[in-house]
Amino acid sequence: MALPIYQVSAFNTAKASENKIHDDATAQRFGFKGGLVGGVHVYAYMSHMPVAQWGRAWLERGTGEAKFGKPVYEGDIAEITAVDDADGMAITVNSCGVLCATGRAALPAAAPALPSLSDFPLVAPRQNRVGADEQSLAVGDWLSMNPLTVTPDYQAQDIGDTRETDPLYLKEGIVHSGTILRCCNWALTHNVILPAWMHMGSQVQNLGLARVGDTLNVRAKVTRNYEHKGHKWVEIDALVVANETTPIARVTHIAIYRPRQLAAAA
């Protein structure tokens, strides 16, 4: 059974960020139409569907997966489709007639066992960032972020930026699923310099709710660093934690940290 299509007027919040893949001029030099809407926002659009289907329970213990194949651009309509199946739901994102992202979501009958915080050591973000490469993102390295305390103003801005229409987040003071995933981006960007990079996919196991007033951090281990089709890729195993005590989500986070276009221009 297909759920009603969810439509979002996509919004690029990162035009002025250090990551120039969100800047129109740089993205066009790389062969794109314009600056890319961030993958964490596209995931946020996708996560509307399992929340609509299962509500708060999905944020507490559900799973989500997203793979980003083609860009979503600011001002274009992203159409999110979800179809129920035996394993949960299959989710697609189409924009301007192009399949941009695919994914899945599910709601396990029981909550998973929580990871032990002792297995995810907390380290300080690097004070002196250097360019991302095989040494600065070495397999086995531990990463964190500059902690984020989620204020009411931050949450309201975040909900607006993701064009979220489900009232659950604001009504119950719950931090949006897209913000939880963005912590995994910060595990990278708060530790190395990434002039132009692309979030390519994530596998998410939700473990609990973060709420307004909580302080978020991430404890992430680099698990892979490799080259594929001329791009340099990194994968991290990340645990998002609230108040340094409560696991919120465990994420396998995948990114191209050095696109082949950037290497060719060097």
Question: Does the pLDDT of residue 235 top 80, yes or no?
Answer: yes
pLDDT 10s digits, 158-183 = 999 999 999 999 999 999 999 999 99
The pLDDT of 146-150, averaged and rounded, is: 98
Q: Please tell me the predicted confidence (pLDDT) of residue 26.
A: 66
The pLDDT, as a whole number, for residue 1 is 74
pLDDT at 14: 59
CA–CA separation, 255 and 249 (whole Å): 18
Domains of the chain: 6-265 (3.10.129.10)
Backbone angles phi, psi at 47, to 5 degrees: -70, -10
Average pLDDT, the chain: 92
pLDDT over threshold 90, residue 148: yes
The answer to whether 245 and 223 have CB atoms below 8 angstroms apart is no
d(CA 237, CA 251): 6
pLDDT in tens, 194-207: 988 889 999 999 99
According to the model, what pLDDT value does residue 74 have?
86
What is the predicted pLDDT for the residue at 3? 85
- Given a cut of 80, is residue 19 above it in pLDDT? no
- Residue 247: CB partners within 8 Å, gap ≥ 6? 114, 115, 117, 207, 208, 239, 240, 241
Q: For the chain, give the percent of residues with pLDDT over 70.
A: 91
pLDDT of residue 16: 58
pLDDT digits (tens, 9 = 90+) for 29-87: 666 777 778 899 999 999 999 999 999 999 999 999 999 999 999 889 999 999 999 99
Strand partners, 225: 234
Quick one: pLDDT at residue 251?
98
